[in-house]
Amino acid sequence: MQASYFETGRYYAPSNLPRQWPMPAGAYDREAGSRAFRGMVERSRYAEELGFDWVSVSEHHYSPRILTPSLPIAAAYIASHVHDIKIALLGPIVPQSNPVLLAEEMAMLDTMAEGRLIVGMLRGTTNEMMTYDLNPEESRERTDEGMELILRAWKEPEPFGWQGRHFHYRTVSVWPKPLQQPLPPTYALGTSREASDFAARNQIGLGVSFGPFDAMGRVTGYYPATTRKSARATVGSRSRTRSSTAPTS
């Protein structure tokens, strides 16, 4: 078993804040913000001393509850102050991001952190789609397409074009590649059948979050069955390919 410490970059306000989203920016206190980030490093160092395997950070916007709107910056900051513990991204929120930029930033992080990066990619919530004025009804499609593009950008040895439904690139050729090969430990984060299907289809892990025990039981039971089905389909496809290309006498 491995244990992860979840670092929120918690902001402690010097006075009561309104209970709303988005939080008015005028309520931000700069010294409290600086303390939040200093505390993030102090707690991560302590987690490393205690023997935790990961320190995890997540992405949130327009709110002091978790003061890490940029995961690559937060992770790089922590990684520069700890030495052995792994850094897990519980995000990025793929549908509202530039997938090619994410692929580049996470590859840089894995290299700078000497192969200590763990990647969890997620869909996010409705309010997080509204952060960048995106249609929440498109979040599932944007998530799957963005994750597929990130994975291909890490694996593909040659430049390639991408003309999807939501993302369009004439040329993609990511430098650097992640230090860990073929990929850093990578998970699709979510509790839906769609997240399980994507993880199984792309042979990556599935990360589940908070929820009722019965819901978590369904998704964690569905994922292994889907993975086995996907593996059988892959083997069958390879067998058909070998058969169709075999020389005839």
Tally of helices (H runs) and strands (E runs) in the chain = 7, 8
In a domain, 201, yes or no: no
Identify the band that residue 232 occupies on the pLDDT scale cut at 50, 70 and 90. Answer: low
- Write the pLDDT tens digit of every residue in 9-44: 989 988 888 888 899 999 999 999 999 999 999 999
Paired tokens of 216:
């978590």
What is the share, in percent, of the chain residues with pLDDT greater than 70?
Answer: 92
**Cis before 72? omega within 30:** no
Per the structure, how many domains does the chain have? 1
CATH number at residue 116: 3.20.20.30
Give the mean pLDDT of the chain: 88
Closest by CA position to 88, among listed 126, 128, 67, 119: 119
Identify the band that residue 225 occupies on the pLDDT scale cut at 50, 70 and 90. Answer: confident
More confident residue, 59 or 231: 59
In a domain, 228, yes or no: no
In a domain, 11, yes or no: yes
**Between the ranges 6-10, 16-20, 221-225, where is the mean pLDDT highest?**
6-10
Give the pLDDT mean for 75-92. 94
Burial of 154 (0-12, 13-18, 19+ CB in 10 A): buried
The parent domain of residue 32 ranges over: 4-189
Residue 129: what pLDDT?
A: 87
Residue 94: what pLDDT?
A: 93
In a domain, 149, yes or no: yes
pLDDT over 90 (residue 213): no
What is the residue type of 145? E
Measured between its terminal Cα atoms, the distance across the chain in Å is 54
In a domain, 115, yes or no: yes
More confident residue, 211 or 107: 107
Task: Say if CB 87 and CB 109 are below 8 A apart.
Answer: yes
Q: Is the pTM of this model over 0.75?
A: yes
Residue 233: what pLDDT?
A: 57
Rounded (5°) CA angle 46-47-52: 150
Residue 223: what pLDDT?
A: 82
- Write the pLDDT tens digit of every residue in 184-194: 999 998 888 88
User: CA–CA separation, 95 vs 233, rounded Å?
Assistant: 28
Least confident of 136-140, 154-158, 224-228: 224-228
Closest by CA position to 109, among listed 98, 97, 118: 118
Task: Say if CB 99 and CB 107 are below 8 A apart.
Answer: no
Residue 5: what pLDDT?
A: 94
- Write the pLDDT tens digit of every residue in 140-176: 999 999 999 999 999 999 999 999 999 999 999 999 9
